[in-house]
Amino acid sequence: MAGAVVVDEPAGAANMSPTDVAFTPAVKAVQARKGSRAIYAGMEMACAIDEDLAAFIAARDSFYLASASADGQPYIQHRGGPKGFLHVIDEHTLGFADLRGNRQYVSTGNFAENPKAFIFVMDYARRQRVKIWGTLRVVEDDPALIASLLPAGAKLRAESAMLFTVTAWDPNCPAHIPQLFPAADVAAALAAKDARIAALEAELAARR
């Protein structure tokens, strides 16, 4: 899907480093007051999606999307789907189909007046997380684009496409992440164990 759309660079992005997006002057002031500024002063964050991040995203079946209204009221929602439903369009753009839900349209309304957005992607099994800062544009008048972002073979109704322009991302540390496993993976592991036990019991019975 690379090159499918062109997303304008956010205003002022050329004059900011990726760390400036996360570490605002207020954040830096707190870091200085609490003694951690020296640690983060030389920290670097990426602004382009590399192969590792693309692979991480492709393996996920959910993420959290944050928005805020014009007056700063925050909102966060969970987005889920089959693995790969969050598409890497190019090295600076993510996209996904906005499926019809409860029709509150809080995120859509927020993005209409404040394009700043944040994506939080978790891999609980491996205790990994990625934080992605950027801006989001809602596209409602491009049926081909919307269809291209739907999961393959899915008979779902999407109301729009959401295009997320990445301005910074950071893999972050695994501290305090609980290790959780998908139910399907646990069921498969238990089934394999039960099958192995049954085979061993049959082998023992045959030797008696």
pLDDT by residue (tens digit) across 157-181?
889 999 999 999 999 888 888 899 9
User: Which stretches of the chain are DSSP H helices?
Assistant: 18-22, 25-34, 37-40, 51-58, 106-113, 143-149, 183-207
CA pair distance 15, 11, nearest whole angstrom? 9
Q: Over 70: is that where the pLDDT of 9 sits?
A: no
Average pLDDT, the chain: 89
CA pair distance 127, 9, nearest whole angstrom? 32
**Which amino acid, one-letter code, is at 45?**
M
- Give tens-digit pLDDT for 69-106: 999 999 999 999 999 999 999 999 999 999 887 889 99
SS3 27: helix
The answer to whether residues 133 and 169 touch, using CB atoms and an 8 Å cutoff, is: yes
* Mean pLDDT calculated for residue range 129-153: 93
Query: Longest C-alpha distance within the chain, in Å?
Result: 78
The answer to whether residues 47 and 167 touch, using CB atoms and an 8 Å cutoff, is: yes
Q: Tell me the CA end-to-end span of the chain in Å, nearest whole number.
A: 61
Residue 132 pLDDT = 97
Of 2-16, 112-126, 140-154, 190-204, the range with the lowest mean pLDDT is: 2-16
Query: Model's pTM, two decimal places?
Result: 0.82
Domain 13-177 has CATH 2.30.110.10: yes
Q: Which two tokens stand for residue 23?
A: 């570490």
Q: Which two tokens stand for residue 88?
A: 């890497």
The answer to whether residues 200 and 137 touch, using CB atoms and an 8 Å cutoff, is: no
